[in-house]
Amino acid sequence: MIEINSLIKAYNKEIVLNIPELTIHQGEVFGLVGNNGAGKTTLFNLLLDLIVPSKGFVVSNQIKVQESEDWKAFTGAFIDESFTIGYLTADEYFGFIAELREMNQADLDQHLNRYTDFFNGEIRGKKKFIRDLSKGNQKKVGIAAAMMGNPEVVILDEPFANLDPGSQFKLRQLIKDQTADFGTTFLISSHNLDNITDVCSRIVILEKGQVVKDVPKTATTLKEIEAFFTGVKEEVGFIID
């Protein structure tokens, strides 16, 4: 689905991201963890052609992201609050994205009905601009919009941050349902190891711009990752089954 080829991003000769090769398969829920400044958002920005790589390229569904705009048709993304439009109401924003994604009103309602629980009655039908919503609710709007039009790839940067525990739990379920029903490929970053190990089928740890661990989820993944971040590094390599 997504192939990363010798991708390097450097600012003033300081390399912030260096991934020689990485392939993300269709239907995978790809989790990205790493310390602040490890390069998670940089990687997502490169996948979305928001910044130019210093070297290498990204191929998404046989389309070179750096060369063609056609990947936009099957990619949804939410990076931060700047991905919403502050002076629209949530309903207007959904309507705007739905038009861009060529959904009709019925499609839109059907899509948003899946989020009724997640929205907790605070998003739809409210005459309130998105800029006046709380940070968490702004995030909910952005996430729901990113999954509109059944995109094949959805990129979410820290979707769990700023959400209350109940909403975090509901979001996990929403992501799982989406992959189960539509085979959507997810790329998710998070600092919350519980959430990421629960929802992801494969987890990659970035450290100083490089992939230091790449493991499928098993019963012991959470412990392994926790050990990595607390610095207790085991001598033995990971068992990959």
Partner 1 sequence: MNHSLNSIAWKEVTRSSAFGKSVATTIMLGFLGLYFAINFLALGFLIPKIIAENFPDANPVQIFNSYLLVYFAFDLLFRQVMQSLPTISLKPLLILNIRRNRIARYLLLRSLFHFFNFLPYFLLVPITFSLVAANYTAAVTFAWFVGIVLMIFASHFLTIWLKWWMNKRGYGFYIFLCVFLSLYGLNYFRIIDLTGLFGSYFDLILANPMWLVVAVIPLIGTILLNYKYLLSNLYLNLVEKKQKDSTIRDFSWMSRLGEYGKFISLEVRMIWRNKRPRTSFLMTILFLFYGLLIYKDSGNGIPDFMFILGGLLMISMFSISLGQFFPAWHSNYFAMLMTQNFKMKQFLKSFYYMNVAFSFVYYLLTLPYMLIDTRIGYYHSAMLLYHIGVNMNLIFLFGKNSKRALDLSSSSMFNYQGMGAAQWLITFPLLLGPMLIYLLSKQVLGAHGALLLLGGLGLVGIMLQPQLFKYFTKAYLQQKHRLIKDYKNS
> Which positions touch partner 1 (CB under 8 A)?
48-52, 69, 72-73, 75, 77, 79, 82-89, 92, 95-97, 99-102, 127-129, 132, 149
Task: Determine the longest span between alpha carbons in the chain, in angstroms.
Answer: 57
Q: Is 106 helix (H, G, I), strand (E, B) or coil?
A: helix
Q: What is the rounded distance in angstroms from the CA atom of residue 71 to the CA atom of residue 58? A: 11
Chain-centre distance for alpha carbon 214: 17
How far, in Å, CA of 28 to CA of 219, rounded?
Answer: 17
Q: Which is nearer to partner 1, 48 or 199 (CB)?
A: 48
CB of 183 to partner 1, least distance (A): 19
Q: How far is the CB of 79 from partner 1 (least distance, A)?
A: 7
Which one, 106 or 239, has the nearer CB to partner 1? 106
Alpha helices in 38-151 (DSSP H): 40-47, 90-100, 105-113, 116-119, 135-146
CB of 199 to partner 1, least distance (A): 22
- CA dist., res. 238 & res. 221, Å (int): 9
Nearest CB to partner 1, comparing residues 101 and 139: 101
Which residue lies nearer to partner 1 by CB, 121 or 237? 121
- As measured in angstroms, the least distance from the Cβ of 188 to partner 1 is 16
Which residue, 200, 233, 209, 208, is CA-closest to 30?
200
Q: How far is the CB of 50 from partner 1 (least distance, A)?
A: 5
- Comparison of 36 and 82: residue with beta carbon closer to partner 1: 82
**CA 17, 22, 24: angle at the middle one, nearest 5?**
120
